[in-house]
Amino acid sequence: MRLAAQSIVQGCRLFVTTTARPDPVYPWAHANFLRVMQAAWANKHVQASLASSPDEADALIFVESGCRFQTDVMYSPLYKAYAHKSFVLDFLDLPKPVIPGLYACAKRDDAAAGGLLGLPYIRVCDNVLLEREDLISADPEYLFSFVGRVANAPRVRSRILELEHPNALLLDRHSGQSESDEEYVRTLSNSKFILCPRGIGTSSWRIYEAMRVGRVPVIVSDDWLAPSGIDWQTFAIFVREVDIEQIPALLDARESEWESLAHTAKATWQRFFAKENLFAWIAQQCCALAARQRTMHRPLGLLDQLRQVGSIRDAADLAKSHRRRLLSWI
């Protein structure tokens, strides 16, 4: 599927496409493609634009994939023709990073080879409640809070729920990820620090929700690959998973900083991840990858892919995925 607009300025030009379909089993993949297109249409930066054809593009981005190992992308005619400048945007909790690109939940160690970069959750752009002034507390009641399902990452989140502090709110319930959950947004804004422990994947929606609502994200994920080009140390607090029990004392000691950190967090969201600015950030990241790939990239063969998937079971599943794709052509 191809949707693109004529490039009207010079700069980093992206051709945006997807192999995903609006499948009722996994509808989010195609929905994320539409979100990227909406960000492109809202883009205010002349340094980034949509290309009208793959030939004129500096990079091609495949938003999501309909297959676990991205074989639908690898076997697509577009990828075969432009593999040297093709990348994926992957928002899955447990990705299989076979193709270079931007990943919301890639592990930091996976990025060592240079082909993977971090990616924010684009769906946070949908939730306008995070900026509704009547829901934002001017004087937060809680020092810190966490609302989320422990079952998504019990090794980390169960210890979060056991923390004790007189001005903390810790709830084991689904955050909803809803654009109509006013109670959840009130809880976020009524907290100076938002605990953002990893979930099923290495990342957390709360990182970006905290930034947008103007609160301080406290990131608890040893493997998280942070999106590039952001000075995270100026507004986020990082806590190693082994140090979770120290969070109350740490935040007590840093409470006086919260307003400054929160202001920087919100300003950083607006500058890089707000809908009108996000496409330019994506373009910058993809074009940086493309420049790097010009000197080092070659399309991944099956053996290369097997080395990356991490387990014998995954390797077997990948081989089966290739076989199904080939048989579908017979």
**Going by C-beta distance under 8 Å and a sequence separation of 6 or more, which residues neighbour residue 58?**
12, 13, 14, 51, 85, 286, 287, 290
The last residue of one of the domains, among 259, 274, 289, is: 274
pLDDT-based confidence at residue 1 (cuts at 50, 70, 90):
very low
Per the structure, the count of domains in the chain is 2
Looking at the structure, do residues 150 and 263 belong to the same domain, yes or no?
Answer: yes
What 3-state DSSP class applies to 319? helix
Looking at the structure, do residues 98 and 19 belong to the same domain, yes or no?
Answer: yes
Task: Tell me the C-alpha to C-alpha distance, in Å, between residue 154 and each of 91, 168, 178.
Answer: 21, 20, 23
> Does residue 229 belong to any structural domain of this protein?
yes
Contact 226, 118 (CB under 8 A): yes
pTM of this prediction? 0.86
Is residue 321 predicted with pLDDT exceeding 60? no
Looking at the structure, do residues 263 and 302 belong to the same domain, yes or no?
Answer: no
Looking at the structure, do residues 86 and 197 belong to the same domain, yes or no?
Answer: no
Looking at the structure, do residues 290 and 177 belong to the same domain, yes or no?
Answer: no
> Does residue 173 belong to any structural domain of this protein?
yes
pLDDT-based confidence at residue 110 (cuts at 50, 70, 90):
confident
> Does residue 31 belong to any structural domain of this protein?
yes
Give me the pLDDT at residue 324, please: 46
Looking at the structure, do residues 140 and 270 belong to the same domain, yes or no?
Answer: yes
> Does residue 257 belong to any structural domain of this protein?
yes
Domain ranges, residue 299? 12-122+277-327
Task: Tell me the C-alpha to C-alpha distance, in Å, between residue 255 and each of 5, 225, 242.
Answer: 47, 26, 22
> Does residue 299 belong to any structural domain of this protein?
yes
CATH number at residue 160: 3.40.50.2000
Is residue 64 predicted with pLDDT exceeding 60? yes
The last residue of one of the domains, among 250, 274, 298, is: 274
Q: What percent of the chain has pLDDT over 70?
A: 84
Residue 40 corresponds to which tokens in the numbers above? Answer: 């492109």
> Does residue 140 belong to any structural domain of this protein?
yes
Contact 211, 268 (CB under 8 A): yes
Alpha-carbon torsion 137, 142, 143, 144, what sign?
Answer: negative
> What is the average pLDDT value for the chain, to the nearest integer?
87
Looking at the structure, do residues 220 and 313 belong to the same domain, yes or no?
Answer: no
Contact 308, 97 (CB under 8 A): yes
Looking at the structure, do residues 193 and 254 belong to the same domain, yes or no?
Answer: yes
Span 181-203, pLDDT tens digits: 889 999 999 999 999 999 999 99
Span 226-242, pLDDT tens digits: 999 999 999 999 999 99
Looking at the structure, do residues 194 and 221 belong to the same domain, yes or no?
Answer: yes
> Does residue 2 belong to any structural domain of this protein?
no
**Going by C-beta distance under 8 Å and a sequence separation of 6 or more, which residues neighbour residue 322?**
71, 302
Is residue 86 predicted with pLDDT exceeding 70? yes
Dist CA 199 CA 211 (whole Å):
18
Looking at the structure, do residues 83 and 143 belong to the same domain, yes or no?
Answer: no
Q: What percent of the chain has pLDDT over 90?
A: 70
pLDDT-based confidence at residue 297 (cuts at 50, 70, 90):
very low
Looking at the structure, do residues 258 and 315 belong to the same domain, yes or no?
Answer: no
Give the pairing of strands 142-148 and 237-238. Answer: unpaired
> Does residue 234 belong to any structural domain of this protein?
yes
Is residue 5 predicted with pLDDT exceeding 60? no
Is residue 171 predicted with pLDDT exceeding 70? yes
**Going by C-beta distance under 8 Å and a sequence separation of 6 or more, which residues neighbour residue 54?**
15, 60, 78, 81, 82
Looking at the structure, do residues 113 and 38 belong to the same domain, yes or no?
Answer: yes
Is residue 123 predicted with pLDDT exceeding 60? yes
pLDDT-based confidence at residue 328 (cuts at 50, 70, 90):
very low
